[in-house]
């Protein structure tokens, strides 16, 4: 197993670097800033950050969680995002090896980690990840087959048969349209009858991205677990911090993104278990 261990180690290091880039996206995209230029600045005092103070996780530990420039606290989100990304990349490559399938899940999880934190911090789900991610998921679908049967079931009613690759593209499209469309309809009805906004369009676009990667069943699993976790934890949080139930804005996208990571990692097992119950 030395090759597998080496590949896993490489995936971990790559995950640290990608996580570091995600931190830049999490800060800049909700503010409509470029992620290419200028170079990294301290978000507090705006002084440029030297490369040796910008090494994933390590610099945070060496600096004791404070900026060298102004001594202000560096958000714990920086090392957290780097470690989360590295941990998931290592886990995925350990499970799937250096394959295109592993690449697909690493790309998906990286975008979901970023979305978790942009929604938590800014209540924004940037189009770069949601709409961009939807296209990436669709682009992967002919090469890494989407594990679903919805398009297959619908098309076979009309006696239509595609090759595996094209069927996978059809599953990806169904996965992008059906659960996101249901969520959009639910939000629209809520707004019609309760006369207040129930959920943002960002959540709908993110669900389209998740469905393009995971298919209809994976996206439904995401919706169900994300909504359950969101409402449970949301209510506990509102009660515990004595927030106003009517005006508090739950970062629903954060819960959906976490649920999508769960669906990507454990989804096939959960779906198998649930199908066996029926
Ligand atoms: Zn500073």
pLDDT single digits (tens) 159-172: 988 899 999 999 99
Alpha carbon of 5 to ligand 1 centroid (Å): 38
Q: Rounded mean pLDDT of 45-59?
A: 91
Alpha carbon of 207 to ligand 1 centroid (Å): 37
Alpha carbon of 92 to ligand 1 centroid (Å): 36
Is the pLDDT score of 24 beyond 70? yes
State the pLDDT confidence band at 198, using cuts at 50, 70 and 90.
low
DSSP 41: B
Q: How far is CA 229 from CA 64, 102, 204, 259, in A?
A: 33, 27, 18, 8
Q: CB–CB of 181/158 below 8 Å? A: no
This model's pTM is above 0.85: yes
For the chain, percent of residues with pLDDT exceeding 90: 71
Distance from first CA to last CA of the chain, Å, rounded?
39
* Tokens, residue 263: 């669906």
Res 149: pLDDT:
87
Is the pLDDT score of 246 beyond 90? no
State the pLDDT confidence band at 195, using cuts at 50, 70 and 90.
confident
Count Cβ atoms within 10 A of the Cβ of residue 134 and give its class: 0-12 exposed, 13-18 middle, 19 or more buried: buried
Among 19-28, 101-110, 194-203, the range scoring the smallest mean pLDDT is 194-203
Alpha carbon of 67 to ligand 1 centroid (Å): 5
CA dist 191 and 115 (Å) reads 24
Average pLDDT, the chain: 91
Alpha carbon of 64 to ligand 1 centroid (Å): 14
Q: 119: cis peptide before it, omega within 30°?
A: no
CA dist 204 and 181 (Å) reads 7
Q: Rounded mean pLDDT of 234-243?
A: 88
Alpha carbon of 39 to ligand 1 centroid (Å): 14
Alpha carbon of 22 to ligand 1 centroid (Å): 20
More confident residue, 232 or 36: 232
């Amino acid at each position: 197993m030395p090759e597998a261990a080496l590949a896993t180690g490489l995936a971990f290091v790559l995950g640290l670097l990608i996580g570091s880039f995600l931190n830049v996206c999490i800060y800049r995209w909700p503010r409509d800033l470029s992620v290419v230029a200028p170079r990294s600045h301290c978000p507090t005092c705006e002084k440029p950050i030297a490369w040796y103070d910008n090494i994933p996780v390590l610099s945070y530990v060496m600096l004791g969680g404070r900026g060298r420039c102004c001594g202000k606290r560096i958000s714990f989100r920086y090392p957290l995002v780097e470690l989360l990304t590295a941990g998931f990349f290592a886990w995925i490559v350990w499970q799937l090896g250096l394959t295109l399938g592993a690449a697909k899940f690493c790309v998906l999880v990286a975008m979901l980690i970023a979305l978790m934190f942009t929604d938590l911090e800014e209540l924004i789900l940037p189009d770069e990840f949601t709409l961009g991610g939807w296209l990436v998921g669709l682009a992967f679908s002919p090469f890494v087959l989407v594990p679903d049967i919805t398009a297959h079931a619908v098309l076979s009613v009309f006696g239509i048969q595609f090759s595996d690759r094209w069927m996978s593209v059809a599953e990806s499209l169904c996965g992008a349209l059906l659960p996101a469309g249901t969520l959009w309809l639910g939000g629209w009805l809520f707004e019609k009858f309760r006369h207040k906004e129930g959920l943002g369009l960002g959540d709908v676009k993110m669900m389209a991205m998740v469905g393009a990667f995971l298919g209809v069943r994976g996206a439904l699993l995401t919706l169900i677990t994300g909504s359950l976790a969101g409402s449970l934890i949301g209510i506990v949080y509102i009660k515990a911090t004595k927030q106003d139930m009517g005006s508090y804005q739950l970062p629903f996208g954060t819960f959906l993104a976490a649920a999508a990571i769960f669906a990507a990692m454990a989804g096939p097992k959960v779906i198998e278990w649930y199908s066996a119950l029926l």
